[in-house]
Amino acid sequence: MRAVLLGTGAPPPNPARRGPSTLVALGREQFLVDAGSGVGVQLVRAGVRPYDWPRVLITHHHSDHTIDLGHLLITRWIVGQNAPFEVWGPAGTKRQVEKLLDYLDWDIEIRRAHMHAGRSRPAVHVTEIEEGTLMEAGGVTVSAFAVDHDPVKPAFGFRFDGGGRSLAISGDTRPSENLMKWSRGVDVLIHECCEMAKTSWAPGCGWASIEEKIRDLASYHTQPPDLGRVAAGAGAKQLVVTHIMPGSVPDELAGHAKAQYQGPIVIGEDLVEV
């Protein structure tokens, strides 16, 4: 089982990193975790054509994790895929997908009118998830676990066990005891590090000062000094860092993580396989 880091970025547009998204695969069985900006292009670069775009597991409904869900949904249909698009996600996913289909309705109907053989509308099958085992598919067991991203609730991370390997993906979270419990002993822990000291500030952005903004946003993400503690707490055999802000310096992130974690550390780059 392998994971391809399709997008290792954060909300700010960054030419070097696409939005959050990870492909997990064992043989032909594939799972896509999140659908951040640019995920379609990255799937193609990873060798997955639109007709075959896999089921999607959404960690939480922050827009940086879902913004290209509509692109995936409509593009696989445009190229001829009629099998239902599987979307798994927290409570609220059904409503979000219904609104997305409503937004795409005009495009869907104008395209259908242009087609000669009667074409059905795109089918989507949504499963709203809770903590626990979600599915066993193609030799892979997929589990969801709650993480701490308040006020975004529920927010999940995912664990994949298959092919003699285990992987956990944190989603967005502050350091989470529950994540450490669920990712105990994994071969690879793919963990967020949204370094809020690198955020920008503008008058009217919702915070009176940059200090206030950093404090608030740092409280629901994992900051560099906590990375190593989380990886060590989970007993992960390898730490892979993702959800990286444009201003973050990879060597600095690795330096922080090393202070409390002895295992190998990969600072994620787009399209790197782990």
Smallest distance from the beta carbon of 149 to Zn ion, in angstroms? Answer: 6
Is 148 known to be catalytic?
A: no
CB 20 to Zn ion: min, Å:
5
Please tell me which residue in 34, 52, 64, 226 is annotated as part of the active site. Answer: 64
Measured torsion, CA atoms of residues 75, 81, 84, 85, in degrees rounded to the nearest 10 = -30
Stretch that binds Zn ion, among 44-52, 62-70, 181-189, 247-255 (CB under 5 A): 62-70
Residue from 21, 56, 64, 122 binding Zn ion (CB under 5 A): 64
The single residue among 86, 161, 172, 270 that binds Zn ion, judged by CB under 5 A, is 172
Q: Name residue, tokens 């009217």.
A: 204
Q: How far is the CB of 221 from Zn ion (least distance, A)?
A: 8
Among 18, 62, 159, 256, binds Zn ion (CB under 5 A): 62
Does 195 participate in binding Zn ion (rule CB under 5 A)? no
- State the catalytic residues: 64
Can you give the binding site for Zn ion, defined by CB under 5 A? 62, 64, 172
